[in-house]
Amino acid sequence: MKIIVLNGSPKGDVSITMQYVHFIQKKFPQHELKILNISQRIKTIERDDNAFREIIDAVRSATCVLWAFPLYYLLVPSNYKRFIELIWARGVEDAFKDKYAASLSTSIHFYDHIAHNYINAISDDLEMKFAGVFSAAMYDLLEEKERKRLSLFAEHLFDTIEYNVPTSRNFRPLIHSSFEYVPGDVQTKIGVGSQKVVVLTDSKDEGTNLGRMLRQFTGTFSGEVEVIDLNEVDIKGGCLGCIQCGYDNSCQYGDKDGYIEFFNTKVKSANILVLAGSTKDRYLSSQWKLFFDRSFFNTHIPVMADKQLGFIISGPLSQNPNLRQALEGFFEVQQAGIVDFVTDECGDSAEIDALLLSLAERLIRYANDGYAKPASFLGVGGKKVFRDFIYGRLRFPFLADHNFYKKNGLYDFPQKDYKSRITNSMMMLLSRIPSMRKKIYTERIKTELIKPLQKVLERE
């Protein structure tokens, strides 16, 4: 059986993910797993038609495509995303149609489900038969139990292909609208005051709904609003995954391109950030993904903390909750305040005008008030994954994170909560006595739980 492995790691062969592929190769020598480096060679693949053709021909000759990638910012790396875009841009979807597909990733399990949903949806859009997901933690291969699990995954995959087992289509095709947004006159202007408002976009083209929504939105402000087209920022390439930034947040690219300066002077200094983009396949454009990936020089430090965030999106966002969660998850973990998403989906220009105005108003108001809604599980859970990861195995090489987390109280493990520890020990002892246990659990528990809150209410 011939499997084409599309390698998403910019590190090419020196990739953690590829060690998992090599493991499968070793365990199943009867099958051919041919690895093609996609992310590492994206520039050649984009430029050289033959290089692209060779990959597509290899896909045509295979029975299955294994999407194998590292998680990068809740998705696949930007270069890999670009390759996926090229499949449609160059009209070679038919090479993938009816083939089996599966996805394999390594990560720290931070939003790995988003990336796998994305690849599953892409496979469904390509009318492939998506046979399953294997999401490994970076060092799972060291554990006997996990090696066994990986072997079984591969065995089941090969059997699925051999016996032509049917697969579910998990993601329905997206329905795109042909609605054209026509902005109305701006009735009210919102004063920017002392807030620094920066709008990032991947297109200012007023021939598109996005461009017109941007014009309308920026027109609602009186005062300075800076609009930056990501295509005009000098970005030489995607994140290389070298982790040189782990020591002191200095990126290997340094001043070889303009990204670091752009990020430090424009993005970091904004109080209000608005992200604008059109959906492209099941995400935003790979240019947007590039923006996120290259911000990795900040490692796991929440550099977006306390910013107010707004999103202006053209395209069927409500049909794609995975994309919405990717954006919400990222910014919640960053401790930013997400104000709202405005899209053109309602298909009514006046309504979009009103939504854009309301977004502008709330961004300024929330920034002036210092208000951000509390994080949901997306932010709370994500922060704990980072905390444990930095505290644990990968404290080295992520020394900059460790120092930041220590200094800023992000190592908020419960073990230092001495008051709770003493109370817990006492209550655990008491609950061993049957009569006390009965009294606590049947009579006291509800009132005791609200006691500390009532004390606050009495004070207010």
Interacting residues with ligand FMN (CB under 6 A): 9, 11, 15-17, 70-74, 106-112, 138, 239, 241, 293, 296
Contact criterion met (CB below 8 Å) for 80 and 11: no
The distance of closest approach from Cβ of residue 107 to ligand FMN in the complex, given in angstroms and rounded to an integer, is 3
Q: Which is nearer to ligand FMN, 17 or 285 (CB)?
A: 17
Q: Which is nearer to ligand FMN, 138 or 225 (CB)?
A: 138
CA–CA gap between residue 130 and residue 101 (Å, rounded): 5
The distance of closest approach from Cβ of residue 402 to ligand FMN in the complex, given in angstroms and rounded to an integer, is 16
Q: Which is nearer to ligand FMN, 116 or 280 (CB)?
A: 116
Q: Which is nearer to ligand FMN, 238 or 337 (CB)?
A: 238
The distance of closest approach from Cβ of residue 243 to ligand FMN in the complex, given in angstroms and rounded to an integer, is 6
Q: Which is nearer to ligand FMN, 136 or 342 (CB)?
A: 136
The distance of closest approach from Cβ of residue 84 to ligand FMN in the complex, given in angstroms and rounded to an integer, is 17
The distance of closest approach from Cβ of residue 69 to ligand FMN in the complex, given in angstroms and rounded to an integer, is 7
Q: Which is nearer to ligand FMN, 183 or 302 (CB)?
A: 302
Instruction: Classify residue 64 as exposed, middle or buried by CB count within 10 Å of its CB (0-12, 13-18, 19+).
Output: buried
The distance of closest approach from Cβ of residue 409 to ligand FMN in the complex, given in angstroms and rounded to an integer, is 23
The distance of closest approach from Cβ of residue 451 to ligand FMN in the complex, given in angstroms and rounded to an integer, is 40
Q: Which is nearer to ligand FMN, 106 or 160 (CB)?
A: 106
The distance of closest approach from Cβ of residue 236 to ligand FMN in the complex, given in angstroms and rounded to an integer, is 15
Instruction: Classify residue 88 as exposed, middle or buried by CB count within 10 Å of its CB (0-12, 13-18, 19+).
Output: middle
The distance of closest approach from Cβ of residue 2 to ligand FMN in the complex, given in angstroms and rounded to an integer, is 22
The distance of closest approach from Cβ of residue 381 to ligand FMN in the complex, given in angstroms and rounded to an integer, is 12
CA–CA gap between residue 455 and residue 91 (Å, rounded): 66
Which residue, among 84, 56, 90, has the nearest Cα to 284 in the 3D structure? 84
Q: Which is nearer to ligand FMN, 22 or 109 (CB)?
A: 109
Q: Which is nearer to ligand FMN, 117 or 160 (CB)?
A: 117
CA–CA gap between residue 323 and residue 388 (Å, rounded): 26
Q: Which is nearer to ligand FMN, 19 or 403 (CB)?
A: 19
